[in-house]
Amino acid sequence: MEISAARPVDSVKRPRGRPRKTVEDRDDGNRRVELLRSAAKLFRRKGFDATSTRDIAAAVGMQSGSPFYHFKSKGALLYAVMEEGMRSAIERQQQALQRAAQATPDAAAQLRTLIRNHFDILLGPGSDFIPVMLYEARSITPRQRATLAELQSEYEAPWSPVLDALHASGQLRADVKLARLLMFGALNWSAQWYDRRKGASLDELADAAMKLFIGEIT
């Protein structure tokens, strides 16, 4: 019986597409997420300037220089926290609106959905990302601020047609653009004073905001 010659190494078929991630690659991704979460928490609690890379590394059980494997600098980590916060907020808002559209197409109900979701982003579990963006913007570059401004505009865009509809129906009497700015100013400031251990629930906050803005709860 003849023994077939072995194929040259170069002729062996290789799997197409991207190589599968190794355990180490997946661990690196998880570590990056841990760094973002811990950095967001520390930046919010202590402030960017008062938080050291050593503090962040210690929070995730790393050596002091290890975060630089994932981020070039503390400033790059700060920007990553802000960008992650905005992209997550956009996705969560889209999901909230999709759920609401199936049950409550009414403009007032949609506004309450937007407000309640915004409170959850600002004040709910894991809510450190957006407050960091709101109060540490001076610590990033103008180009980074411009990119975040684009994401912020994308996040705020769905509010305008809802406010337009409320204005057309007479439920919102203020100029729509000014109303939107004032609403975000009031809602965002809650990150400074709200204490979930002592204050009202997020549903109660949303109801109070609805009464304040258009005088009703839906």
CB atoms within 10 A of CB 145: 15
pLDDT value at position 1?
38
Q: Indicate if the pLDDT at residue 158 is higher than 80.
A: yes
Cβ(40)–Cβ(81) below 8 Å: yes
pTM over 0.75: yes
> Right CATH number for 79-214 from 3.30.565.10, 1.10.357.10, 3.40.50.300, 3.40.190.10?
1.10.357.10
Q: Indicate if the pLDDT at residue 87 is higher than 60.
A: yes
Task: Identify the sign of the CA torsion 27, 29, 32, 34.
Answer: negative
Write out the two tokens for 69. Answer: 């494997």
| CA 62 remoteness from chain centre | 25
For residue 100, name the pLDDT band (cuts at 50, 70, 90): confident
Task: Give dist(CA 82, CA 150) in Å, integer.
Answer: 13
**Model confidence over 3-31: pLDDT tens digits?**
344 444 444 444 454 444 443 444 455 78
Task: Give dist(CA 218, CA 209) in Å, integer.
Answer: 12
pLDDT value at position 18?
43
* Domain boundaries of the chain, sorted by first residue: 79-214
